[in-house]
């Protein structure tokens, strides 16, 4: 995939009610965004989706900003020009932090939804005011994340852990590595529980991490609240489509999957992590 030009006519067509039947584009550096796609399909059951997994260039969270920005633009252009999407969900915290402002500048009329770690909902939920955040290094070292954390610093204590290698292990479906890394990073966060000073809320700050929530739960106990962004992203996508008169209301709902890595890897991930039906292109 190497699109060089944006077809602005397709972008303009996406603004009209006649394009309500066009698909919604969703992309991530790999399979993590499937957790967001699941939430989108529950909230918008009549919509069609095209999911792009950039597994050939993953994980974004351990790449430079320049690399992430370049890939984000290329994938966005592909989804717009080749797939004719009417809206775009950047289902990746790292890509959002590095490039969402640039996408908004490039496509000012496109319904565009990004992600950020769910610190605000976590603050609202936490009783002990001690919150753990697991995310990629690219996310936790970004200016966008630091500004968000600082804005809430007077309301809660945050134990932030950069989980190097965890997204990659999930991509590879490496069960042994997933178990080892989940244990390591949960321990690094601190003590979980409901007592004063304990961590009672865990923010899953990478879209990959909800896929291994059961493994993380082994180290936190059942009383700790897990917070991710899937439902909030789905609600925001629904609001933007409604405002642009682009909600699909006659379709049966479906999802197609494309990517830059091995097709077998994506097919296995979709079979394991998503609702059906699914089509591969």
Query: Rounded to an integer, what distance in angstroms lies between the CA atom of residue 76 and that of residue 90?
Result: 9
Phi first, then psi: what are they for 50, rounded to 5°? -120, 120
pLDDT for res 71: 95
Neighbours of 111 (CB within 10 A): 22
pLDDT band, very low/low/confident/very high, at 7 (cuts 50, 70, 90): very low
| Segment 23-38 mean pLDDT | 93
Higher-confidence position of 281 and 96: 96
Average pLDDT, the chain: 88
Angle value at C-alpha 269, between 264 and 271, nearest 5 degrees:
95
Catalytic residue flag (residue 83): no
Query: Rounded to an integer, what distance in angstroms lies between the CA atom of residue 123 and that of residue 125?
Result: 5
Q: Identify the active-site residue in 83, 163, 182, 206.
A: 206
The counts of H helices and E strands in the chain are 12, 10
* 105-129 tens-digit pLDDT: 999 999 999 998 899 999 999 999 9
CB proximity list for 63: less than 8 A, separation 6 or greater: 57, 94, 138
Read out DSSP for 2-48?
---S--HHHHHHTTSGGGTTSPEEEEESSSTTHHHHHHHHHH-TT-E
pLDDT for res 24: 97
Query: Residue 115's closest CA among 137, 133, 93, 130?
Result: 93
Contact 160, 135 (CB under 8 A): yes
| Segment 204-211 mean pLDDT | 91
| Domains recognised in the chain with CATH numbers | 8-115+231-280 (3.40.50.1860), 119-228 (3.40.50.1860)
Give the rounded distance of the alpha carbon of 87 from its chain centre: 15
pTM over 0.75: yes
**52-61, 147-156, 235-244: segment of lowest average pLDDT:** 52-61
Size (the chain), residues? 281
pLDDT band, very low/low/confident/very high, at 276 (cuts 50, 70, 90): low
Ramachandran region, residue 40 (left: φ > 0; alpha: ψ -120 to 50; beta: rest):
alpha
Neighbours of 132 (CB within 10 A): 26
What proportion of the chain, given as a percentage, has pLDDT over 70? 90
142 DSSP β-pair partners: none
pLDDT band, very low/low/confident/very high, at 275 (cuts 50, 70, 90): low
Read out DSSP for 156-179?
-EEEEEE-TTHHHHHHHT-HHHHH
- With residue 204 as reference, give the H or E element that holds it: strand 201-204
Give the rounded distance of the alpha carbon of 279 from its chain centre: 20
Query: Rounded to an integer, what distance in angstroms lies between the CA atom of residue 66 and that of residue 70?
Result: 6
Q: Identify the active-site residue in 83, 92, 163, 182.
A: 92
Read out DSSP for 110-161?
S-EE-----HHHHHHH-SSSEEEEEE-HHHHTSHHHHHHHHHTTTT-EEEEE
Catalytic residue flag (residue 182): no
pLDDT band, very low/low/confident/very high, at 279 (cuts 50, 70, 90): low
pLDDT for res 81: 93
225 DSSP β-pair partners: 201
pLDDT for res 13: 33
pLDDT for res 164: 94
């Amino acid at each position: 995939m190497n699109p060089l030009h944006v077809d602005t006519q397709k972008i303009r067509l996406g603004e009209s009610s006649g394009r309500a039947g066009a698909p919604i584009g969703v992309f991530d550096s790999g399979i993590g965004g499937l957790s967001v796609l699941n939430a989108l399909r529950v909230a918008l059951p009549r919509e069609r989706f095209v999911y792009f997994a950039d597994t050939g260039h993953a994980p974004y969270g351990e790449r430079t900003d320049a690399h992430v920005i370049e890939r984000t633009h290329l994938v966005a252009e592909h989804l717009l020009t080749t797939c004719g999407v009417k809206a775009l969900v950047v289902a990746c915290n790292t890509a959002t932090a590095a490039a969402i402002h640039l996408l908004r500048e490039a496509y000012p009329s496109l319904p565009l939804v990004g992600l950020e770690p769910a610190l605000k909902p976590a603050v609202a939920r936490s009783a002990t005011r001690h919150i753990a955040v697991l995310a990629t290094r690219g996310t936790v070292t970004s200016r966008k994340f630091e500004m968000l954390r600082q804005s809430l610093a007077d309301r809660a204590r945050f134990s932030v852990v950069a989980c190097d290698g965890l997204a990659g292990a999930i991509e590879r479906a490496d069960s042994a590595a997933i178990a080892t890394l989940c244990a390591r990073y949960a321990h690094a966060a601190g003590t979980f529980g409901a007592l004063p000073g304990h961590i009672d809320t865990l923010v899953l700050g990478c879209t990959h991490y909800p896929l291994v929530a059961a493994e993380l739960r082994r180290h936190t106990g059942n009383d700790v609240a897990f917070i991710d962004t899937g439902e909030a992203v789905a609600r925001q996508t629904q609001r933007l489509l409604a405002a642009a008169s682009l909600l699909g209301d006659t379709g049966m709902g479906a999802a197609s999957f494309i990517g830059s890595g091995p097709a077998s890897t994506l097919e296995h991930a979709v079979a394991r992590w998503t609702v059906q039906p699914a089509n591969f292109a």
